[in-house]
Structure 1
């Protein structure tokens, strides 16, 4: 039995590397970049941050597909990961020298290019090394990544720890410490069946209509949940303040942190259950439906307690959904020879919502309030659940 399982050493080191990937962008995009934009752009910081974020998101989307495809062609993920690690780390530390908004946009675009040279092959590497019988556990381990990214952001902004420029160097160092051990010491077992199509299936053979339907449903379901995630990530603080003016940014940050940490054991338990029962997809529609219920509670809440309760339910179940969806996506992709490219296409569900959510929010909230937004997001979550319930059985 053990011969058909990847080593725990690789799984743990890979989870650490994936967390390093989150550390590479969460502190910078959520805290360090906005602070730098304010220093350079002054009173126009919000407008300039929107331009920088938009350019970065478009670049990340295209670069993730490109480097996934290139790592497919070369059949070597590790070299691309190392190259992206070096390039993104150097570019990150160079941000401290930028003196103009125009140069910041250019540097962020190039940094996103290098960052996705690391992230895309790193994601595909898991598909090359982790058999289907352990993909639930892999999903549980991947739930560490968002928490590690948030913890890194909290650490580098601790009062008196480091100057603004030194923080960039600290982030780059943390990423290197997390990613390199998997590259140098992971030594994963080889599973030839994971790295190429079966002998009776040519790489160029068309994908069946059932497989295409499964992939499309998985893609759309993740996009719908990610839209809800992105909306709450951006506007959660404003919503809590609209319910109770005494809520501070520190209160919201603590709630957010508790949810991220709490989702880790929950994702590990659910992922292990999916492996043991050979029911890999079942947790996905269940968690999507529970996330929808949480959003309905938020839409209907008229007190801080019910608002927090609804958000906790949504936050925990959506975090488990996203972690397990990431690992189970590796199961349904039909062509190992195209795994990196296909994961890059799935990555559009991560970057796309950041381009959609601001306009969605502006269209609803000023006229109808936050409740209208949450009703819509709940509908999207229930639709995601319905799409996945109707998937054909996957073993």
Structure 2
């Protein structure tokens, strides 16, 4: 999974339409919901259970290795697929191809019976899903006018909490039948891809030549030389690192750290926690965006929401009770939802140059994807060395505090 900022595709549309096509925004919601349902249901539930079943004693290290290596595939295939779809001037064939290939990838994952085979199958799954993600993310700048980008971004952004809830519920429902569960998630994604491409018309855009590697590196360093953008980049990277270091291990935390109510299984607990987290995230996303606009204060809300995420991480660090995990899920959802909504607005205000906005937002997405590569490795090392999850919560809280402090040096935004 490569978390991305809504509406920041791989390229900028050359001729934006006057208004989005009828039905496009609901289809974007469906397409993104299906994608996040697979990411959460597979990586957050079924994959973790499958790894634990094969080698319970080394599940933390094995899961960290699989997560880290597969995230590299995600980070590589996302921009590559985006560049290839740029060259073709089309998005629908890439959405359809990536979505349909999710089904055989999930079938192979269900057949895997060793850690190595699980890693290979999930890397393939990440590869095809990021082909799908890169193309469907690029639909917004291609087909939605600037005046409707807010609504389109909301449709894309709501896919995360909706998809997370569906993924957690289905993951729990198929926790005793990995193969069927994987096929269900693959079928949902394939169905969403068919629906999206069948119901949306696409005009071929002028093909764009790919940017040479040297030019891409120069663009990356040029953006980070800007003082305010650099600090926004650092803050996002730190918070995302802390968030995914914990969220990737949620099932194992519930297995080995949390004292669940009698009779409750860890996967059932995930199915309860994720909807709570998602509802809190939706509420804080809407409210945080509205209040930051009303008071014209971005740094205040970004810093406060990052500190709220840090506070949330301290709750399960000092208490192993089920009530503590419920409180953590709600408070963490409030903090992360508000942060992502307002920080995205803040970043658009500190872009180094308006003419390079799409490119620089792509640079920002490295702060989303990069930490997801190293988060599983860091988390597995912290848990293995400390012998438990308390240290992981504390490390993630420190990262969140550092993310809050990173917005203070930004000068051009209040």
Name the TM-score, length of structure 1 as normaliser: 0.75
Pair 1:152-2:167 in alignment: yes
Cα pair 2:71 2:372 within 8 Å, conserved? no
Q: How many residues were matched structurally?
A: 381
Q: Who is 1:198 aligned against?
A: none
Q: CA deviation at 1:22?
A: 1.0
Instruction: Pick the aligned partner of 1:21 from 29, 32, 35.
Output: 35
Note the 1:126-275 alignment, pairs <5 A: 126-130=140-144, 136-141=150-155, 142-155=157-170, 157-158=172-173, 163-186=177-200, 212-233=226-247, 234=249, 238=253, 244=259, 246=261, 248=264, 249=266, 250-251=268-269, 253-272=271-290
Cα pair 1:140 1:270 within 8 Å, conserved? no
Q: CA deviation at 1:96?
A: 3.5
Cα pair 2:79 2:134 within 8 Å, conserved? yes
Note the 1:35-50 alignment, pairs <5 A: 35-37=49-51, 41=54, 46=59, 48-50=62-64
Cα 1:283/1:77, change in 2 over 3 Å: farther
Q: Who is 1:117 aligned against?
A: 131
Q: Who is 2:410 aligned against?
A: 391
Distance 1:268 1:231 in 2: 25
Distance 2:57 2:378 in 1: 22
After superposition, the CA RMSD in angstroms is: 4.5
Distance 1:126 1:301 in 2: 43
Cα pair 2:29 2:159 within 8 Å, conserved? yes
Structure 2, unaligned stretches of length 5 or more?
Answer: 1-16, 209-215
SS at the partner of 2:173?
coil
Cα pair 2:85 2:94 within 8 Å, conserved? yes
Instruction: Pick the aligned partner of 1:356 from 362, 369, 378.
Output: 378
Instruction: Pick the aligned partner of 1:284 from 281, 302, 309.
Output: 302
Cα pair 2:257 2:320 within 8 Å, conserved? no
Distance 2:101 2:323 in 1: 46
Distance 1:34 1:21 in 2: 18
Q: Who is 1:321 aligned against?
A: 339
More divergent stretch after superposition (220-229 vs 245-254)? 245-254
Instruction: Pick the aligned partner of 1:95 from 96, 109, 120.
Output: 109
Cα pair 1:270 1:283 within 8 Å, conserved? yes
Pair 1:70-2:75 in alignment: no
SS at the partner of 1:391?
coil
Instruction: Pick the aligned partner of 1:345 from 355, 361, 366.
Output: 366
Q: Deviations over 1:143-166 (max 9, x none)?
A: 332442342342354279x95433
Normalized per residue, which structure has more helix?
A: 1
Distance 1:100 1:241 in 2: 23
Instruction: Pick the aligned partner of 2:312 from 277, 294, 299.
Output: 294
Structure 1, unaligned stretches of length 5 or more?
Answer: 196-202
Q: Deviations over 1:95-152 (max 9, x none)?
A: 3444555444333322222221111232233344455665554554413324423423
Q: Who is 1:199 aligned against?
A: none
Cα pair 1:67 1:340 within 8 Å, conserved? no
Q: Who is 2:7 aligned against?
A: none
